[in-house]
Structure 1
Amino acid sequence: MTTIRQADFIQSIEDAFQYISCYHPLDYIQALGKAWEREESPAAKDAIAQILTNSRMSAEGRRPICQDTGIATVFLKVGMHLRWDATLSVTDMVNEGVRRAYNNVDNKLRASVLADPAGARKNTQDNTPAVIHTEIVAGDGLEVICAAKGGGSEAKAKMAMLNPSDSIVDWIVKTVPTMGAGWCPPGILGIGIGGTPEKAMLMAKESLMAPVDIHELIERGPANRAEELRLELFDKVNGLGIGAQGLGGLTTVVDVKVLDCPTHAANLPVAMIPNCAATRHVHFHLHGDGPAELPVPRLEDWPQITWKADLETSTRVNLDTLTQNEVASWTPGQTLLLNGKMLTGRDAAHKRIADMLAKGQKLPVDFTNRVIYYVGPVDPVRDEVVGPAGPTTATRMDKFTETMLGQTGLIAMVGKAERGPTAIESIKKHRSAYLMAVGGAAYLVAKAIRSAKVVGFEDLGMEAIYEFDVQDMPVTVAVDATGESVHETGPKLWQGRIGNIPVVAA
């Protein structure tokens, strides 16, 4: 009979979350490498190259792939004959492992979990509690899956109670474009069908834990309806032309996963959850002989693709002398390399700024002719000036855009994914611009930051206002001063082209 010791289990959970912070699953990275090889959209190809370069850098530097180090999710399959040598409950042991992982001094991870979500929303400081799903199974073993799920992709989860006669494929193909690009494609779609509403959602999430194997399925052919759906959805979702980071291209998903179970005759629950470019999960078994052994991937297993700033096709911008006229001259899809001093701010900072302006109070920072970067960085370790610092989803700041552009003197913004109609109208009105950085390239972006200091709202922690001094930070003009958005024009262009290009590689 297997006996699992408390110390071994806690150590395994800690090691697992540290491991997935910096190591992509190799199956995902290799699938992304194939997507890069066949990609024909220059913007999408550049974005994928940044993601792959960032991934290898994170593995080499043992630092987070993404600044959003996720909400800790743990799936446990506990053998019914298993014994525990422990004084803590299983839940408490998991949370202790998560606590240690996120506060590890050698690779501190960003704490993003807030208690009292409908009230004070106070940070728990250690990313606990984890979300734990436990199943009692036959035998005396312990199977564990640890996943770190970023807030951007979680925010795009969808669930519907369809009528039994409704088309699941039609609902998914109609719904995916409404998710925008905030889930940082190319990624994976997890689909749960049947059961009850909560069961469908759980199956969708659990399906994302399986290896990327769509091309194996293409080669052997489907064996059941769920596999037929995977192939049909893989083809049709990629046929939407959304592409990497929503810029338009051939690959929106590298795989589609489907789990189903019996349901009530009157119901057809369907859930869809995306996994982003920062796909992070690891599987292991414990047998009572010590902590889990997690194999360190070899750097040579990564696709040999390296992103470098292209000075022939990109324009260097001096943020310290930037003018509104220069901003107005930028064109949609133009690639820029930002240099100089840039401010940061995201949800909490924008809310506080708006409140202070409404009360006539003086802001701690002068935003005149400045650029703001929507980011909440990871704390630095060792000789870093800042930890991984990739962009957060820009649409969350849409409701503050008119205030920022109209009352503070701000002239441009940097984030990830698309902007909504309200923000685009304000950008057009003020002849501003929105620049997109690649979600899933946080460590690569951090290497462009030469110095960082808090200049406002220090009490907000990672949501404080920083001033970054950047060197050749890569961005793309996503919305120009006329209001043209590449997240609208790009997918439309590539959806039209894809009809003449095989979406599924043989």
Structure 2
Amino acid sequence: MTVIRQEDLIESVAGALQYISYYHPVDFIQAMDKAYQREQNPAAKDAIAQILINSRMCAEGHRPICQDTGIVTVFLKVGMNVQWEADMSVTDMCNEGIRRAYLNPDNVLRASILADPDGARTNTKDNTPGVIHYEIVPGDIVEVHVAAKGGGSEAKSKFAMLNPSDSVVDWVLSQVPLMGAGWCPPGMLGIGIGGTAEKAMLLAKEALLEPIDIQDLQERGASTRSEELRLELHEKVNKLGIGAQGLGGLTTVMDVKVNDFPTHAANKAVAIIPNCAATRHTHFTLDGSGAAALKPPKLEDWPEVTREAGGNVKRVNLDTVTPEEVKTWQPGDTLLLNGKMLTGRDAAHKKMVDMIEAGEELPVSMKGRFIYYVGPVDPIGDEVVGPAGPTTATRMDKFTRTMLEKTGLLGMIGKAERGPTAIEAIKDHQSVYLMAVGGAAYLVAQAIKSSTVVGFPELGMEAIYEFELEDMPVTVAVDHLGESVHKTGPQLWQAKIEEEAIKVI
């Protein structure tokens, strides 16, 4: 009989969440480095470089890889011979561990969890509750997997109840392009097949906890149907040419994981859940000897990468930029932003549009300004701001026309592609949309030299800030004519891959 103490589980969960906030899994870093070495699209290669540089910086500085520090999922396998020395439930112990991790003053993690999700959507302030899964198994230990999943990648999850004769491969290949770039590729796809609707989703989520080992599978060959699917999907998804950050390129997925389960004769439940460039998960075991101690990876595990921005880099002063200057920018151009920039995401946009419709004055003028879709991590020590990477831009699409038309906003900065509604508004108002790299939040934060809340302070991380910038790297994603690099890039690279029969990782 093993006795597991309450404090040991709490401290282990808290420690694991801090650990994964700044350490990528080593298998992920190695796979990302391979993708970097073979990438031929300069824009995609630079995006991967930023992700790798950011990852090393976070490992050294013990700060979050991404500003979205995720919703926590905990999987526990509890041995039947385990005895708990506790007065809390296991769920409450896990949530206390989450609470301690996210409120740790040495590395504050962003609280993103909202209660009353279809009503008041009130922030719980400590990122609880997590999503907890249990399995009771033979034995006298407790095995725990902890993951922190960003909202952008989780939002791209897909599910279907296929007919038994339908092709899983065809369905997946039809869905991946619809996911866009909001899940921050390159990453992994977890696929669950069978069981019931909820079982398929759980299988897909659990698949993402497995290490990247597609090259080993390629070398030894498939021995099961799920392994055959992994190999086929890995090859065919990469042939779509979506590439890093959706810019077009050779690597969209570094691995595809497939879990299956017996199902009803009339059903074929299939789920896809992507893991993003801020992949965060780890595993530990409690055997009664105390809290888990996770061994830090070695800094040698990270490659030394230097960005090569190319010859099309333009330095931009946001304090003096004009509509005429914006019209000279071409899709795919790299810009280095300097000067003052505003921020605002979902809640701030909703409040601003409501105020505009009510004829009220906004807390800050948007005329001729650029707005960055971000909800930064709180700063620690002498930081101006914590990690401050972009959030998914499509969520702001429904507000874009009003913002451009009624406020005189000149440009927007976010993550991934814009939808047709936003692109039409950008074209009509001769505006522009710039893309920052998702998964490079700490690197981006180094370009922010001052930060001041200038509107809606009650929204916390969703308030309107004014950032003073020094060489913040972005890519022109939609120009003033409405041309989107997220359309032209993947089309170009899909054609190149087909023409040259390039073998993808």
Task: State the TM-score, normalized to the length of structure 2.
Answer: 0.99
Take 1:123 and 1:360, find their aligned partners in 2: how far apart are those partners?
Answer: 28
Take 1:190 and 1:101, find their aligned partners in 2: how far apart are those partners?
Answer: 26
Q: Which residue of 1 aligns with 2:473?
A: 474
Take 2:119 and 2:503, find their aligned partners in 1: how far apart are those partners?
Answer: 46
| 8 Å Cα contact 2:448-2:470 kept in structure 1 | yes
Q: What residue identity is the alignment partner of 2:52?
A: L
| 8 Å Cα contact 1:52-1:306 kept in structure 2 | no
Q: What residue identity is the alignment partner of 1:472?
A: D
Take 2:249 and 2:142, find their aligned partners in 1: how far apart are those partners?
Answer: 42
The CA deviation at 1:313 is: 3.2
Q: Which residue of 2 aligns with 1:449?
A: 448
Q: Which residue of 1 aligns with 2:343?
A: 344
Take 1:284 and 1:242, find their aligned partners in 2: how far apart are those partners?
Answer: 35
Deviation sequence 1:310-360 (CA, Å, 0-9, x none)? 474310000000111111111110110000000000000000000001111
The CA deviation at 1:502 is: 2.9
Take 2:409 and 2:337, find their aligned partners in 1: how far apart are those partners?
Answer: 16
| 8 Å Cα contact 2:427-2:481 kept in structure 1 | yes
The CA deviation at 1:420 is: 0.4
Q: Which residue of 2 aligns with 1:357?
A: 356
Q: Does residue 198 in structure 1 map to residue 198 in structure 2? A: yes
Take 1:246 and 1:313, find their aligned partners in 2: how far apart are those partners?
Answer: 20
Q: What residue identity is the alignment partner of 1:228?
A: E
| 8 Å Cα contact 1:328-1:431 kept in structure 2 | yes
Q: Which residue of 2 aligns with 1:241?
A: 241
**Equivalence map 1:358-397=2 (5 Å):** 358-397=357-396
Deviation sequence 1:55-86 (CA, Å, 0-9, x none)? 00000000000000000110000001111111
**Equivalence map 1:147-296=2 (5 Å):** 147-296=147-296
Structure 1, unmatched stretches of 5+, are none
SS of residue matched to 2:262: strand
Deviation sequence 1:157-177 (CA, Å, 0-9, x none)? 000000000000000001100
Identity %: 71
SS of residue matched to 1:321: coil
| 8 Å Cα contact 1:9-1:93 kept in structure 2 | yes
Q: Which residue of 2 aligns with 1:123?
A: 123
**Equivalence map 1:279-318=2 (5 Å):** 279-307=279-307, 310=309, 312-318=311-317
| 8 Å Cα contact 1:162-1:270 kept in structure 2 | yes
| 8 Å Cα contact 1:11-1:291 kept in structure 2 | yes
SS of residue matched to 1:72: strand
Q: What residue identity is the alignment partner of 2:462?
A: E
Q: What residue identity is the alignment partner of 1:145?
A: H
| 8 Å Cα contact 1:238-1:503 kept in structure 2 | no
Q: Which residue of 2 aligns with 1:28?
A: 28
SS of residue matched to 1:375: coil
Q: Which residue of 2 aligns with 1:53?
A: 53
Take 1:114 and 1:306, find their aligned partners in 2: how far apart are those partners?
Answer: 39
Deviation sequence 1:163-197 (CA, Å, 0-9, x none)? 00000000000110000000000000000000000
The CA deviation at 1:304 is: 1.8
Q: Displaced runs of 4+ in structure 1, greater than 2 A? A: 310-313, 501-505
Number of paired residues? Answer: 504
Q: Does residue 106 in structure 1 map to residue 106 in structure 2? A: yes
Q: What residue identity is the alignment partner of 1:200?
A: A
Take 1:138 and 1:246, find their aligned partners in 2: how far apart are those partners?
Answer: 45
Report the RMSD for the aligned CA atoms in angstroms.
0.8
Take 1:479 and 1:213, find their aligned partners in 2: how far apart are those partners?
Answer: 36
Take 1:292 and 1:59, find their aligned partners in 2: how far apart are those partners?
Answer: 20
| 8 Å Cα contact 1:102-1:127 kept in structure 2 | yes
Take 2:356 and 2:202, find their aligned partners in 1: how far apart are those partners?
Answer: 43
Take 1:135 and 1:42, find their aligned partners in 2: how far apart are those partners?
Answer: 46
Q: Which residue of 1 aligns with 2:10?
A: 10
Take 1:45 and 1:312, find their aligned partners in 2: how far apart are those partners?
Answer: 15
Take 1:211 and 1:113, find their aligned partners in 2: how far apart are those partners?
Answer: 27
The CA deviation at 1:409 is: 1.0
Deviation sequence 1:179-226 (CA, Å, 0-9, x none)? 000000000000000000000000000000000000010011111110
Take 2:63 and 2:281, find their aligned partners in 1: how far apart are those partners?
Answer: 15
The CA deviation at 1:401 is: 0.4
Q: Which residue of 2 aligns with 1:79?
A: 79
| 8 Å Cα contact 1:412-1:433 kept in structure 2 | yes
Take 1:504 and 1:284, find their aligned partners in 2: how far apart are those partners?
Answer: 33
SS of residue matched to 1:384: coil
Take 2:118 and 2:353, find their aligned partners in 1: how far apart are those partners?
Answer: 21
Q: Which residue of 2 aligns with 1:487?
A: 486
Q: What residue identity is the alignment partner of 1:236?
A: K
Take 1:154 and 1:261, find their aligned partners in 2: how far apart are those partners?
Answer: 22
